[in-house]
Structure 1
């Protein structure tokens, strides 16, 4: 039967634009004017340690020791009021409820649980939410996807991964899985399709409807 493995931010939750808007506001408050587009270009898809180093270089001094903690709290508060799904995500999840599925995300478990609650999707992924905190190496390494396949009891080659980032696509390919690149969230900018294609996506989708057509074919093989 196979399995569906979903990334979360930018795939199910339209959260990347919100998170980067908060980051842009925070960096601006530190004295380095930053727009949403600049935050997306400079920090999105990077390891957090790399983003911190770039912010420190931009402002010319070390960040406060509580910077990451305060940023996370502010971001979660914004999610509580502003977070929406990537249009069509919930319908797709329920359309394929007969297929084993899980979330495999770089986000922390507490962030994932909060966002699932806001989106009223907790019941769709009971005990099937996996975070990079659970593995030694995050994306673009395959560890999180291999963990997910193992927990689902499905061979990697039978898993369909839905991702919105090049690093996530690379991780899925490294795990021996089929990867779809979804470009439907509000943070997607020009050139993103090519990044996902170059990373190894076998199909590029501009909507969950596009993903559905591919998934029907994939699971009907």
Structure 2
């Protein structure tokens, strides 16, 4: 039958715009005026150490030692009030409830568990929620996807991955999986679909209905 592997932020949870808004507000308070679009351009999709270096260069001094921890707390607080699903995600997940599935995300387990609870999706994935913290290398390396396939007991070439980032798509392609690039969340900007295509997405979807049509062909073909 194969399996569905979901990235989380920007795929199931419409969280990227929220997280980057909080980041922009935080950097602005440090003295470097930053908009949401600027935060998305400068920091989104990068390794956190690279983003930190970029912020420090922008503000002209080292960040406070508790910067990352305080930013995480502020982001989780904003999720508690503002987080919504990417429109259509829950319907898709339940429609394909017969297909083995999991989450394979770069986010921490505590963040994933909170967001799944807020979206009332904990029961849909159970223990099949995997973080890059569980493997040696994060995306764009294939480790998290290979780990997920092994936990689901399926071969990589039987997996359909839903991703919204170029790094995640490169990771899934490196794992030997088929990847749909989803451009449906509120952080998506013009030209993002082309980046996903260049990264190796075999199909670009602008809604979960688009994903559904491709998934039906993948699992029934």
TM-score, normalised to structure 1, is 1.00
- Aligned residue number for residue 88 of structure 1: 88
Deviations 1:115-174 (A, max 9, x none): 000000000010000000000000000000000000000000000000000000000000
Superposition RMSD in Å: 0.2
1:17 aligns with 2:11: no
1:44 Cα deviation (Å)? 0.2
Indicate the residue corresponding to 1:218 in structure 2: 218
Paired residue for 2:41?
A: 41
1:108-187 alignment runs, 5 A limit: 108-187=108-187
SS at match of 1:4: strand
> Unaligned stretches of 5+ in structure 2?
none
Partners of 1:189 and 1:140 lie apart in 2 by 21
What's the secondary structure of 1:157's corresponding residue? helix
Question: In the comparison of the two structures, how many residue pairs are matched?
Answer: 221
Match of 1:26 in 2: 26
Alignment deviations for residues 164-213 of structure 1 (CA, whole Å, 9 cap, x no partner): 00000000000000000000000000110000000000000000000000
Superposition pairs for residues 199-214 of structure 1, below 5 Å? 199-214=199-214
In structure 1, the partner of 2:70 is: 70
Equivalents in 2 of 1:49, 1:135: separation in Å?
Answer: 18
The DSSP-based 3-state class of the residue aligned with 2:104 is strand
Q: Separation in 2 of the partners of 1:115 and 1:76?
A: 9
SS at match of 1:31: coil
| Shift in Å, 1:215 | 0.1
Partner of 2:110: helix, strand, or coil?
helix
Task: Report the secondary structure of 2:12's partner residue.
Answer: coil
Looking at structure 2, the residues matched to 136 and 151 of structure 1 have their Cα atoms a distance apart, in angstroms, of: 16
Equivalents in 2 of 1:24, 1:191: separation in Å?
22
Shift of 1:76: 0.1
Large movers: runs of 4+ above 6 Å: none
Deviation at 1:91, TM superposition (A): 0.1
Q: Deviations over 1:51-99 (max 9, x none)?
A: 0000000000000000000000000000000000000000000000000
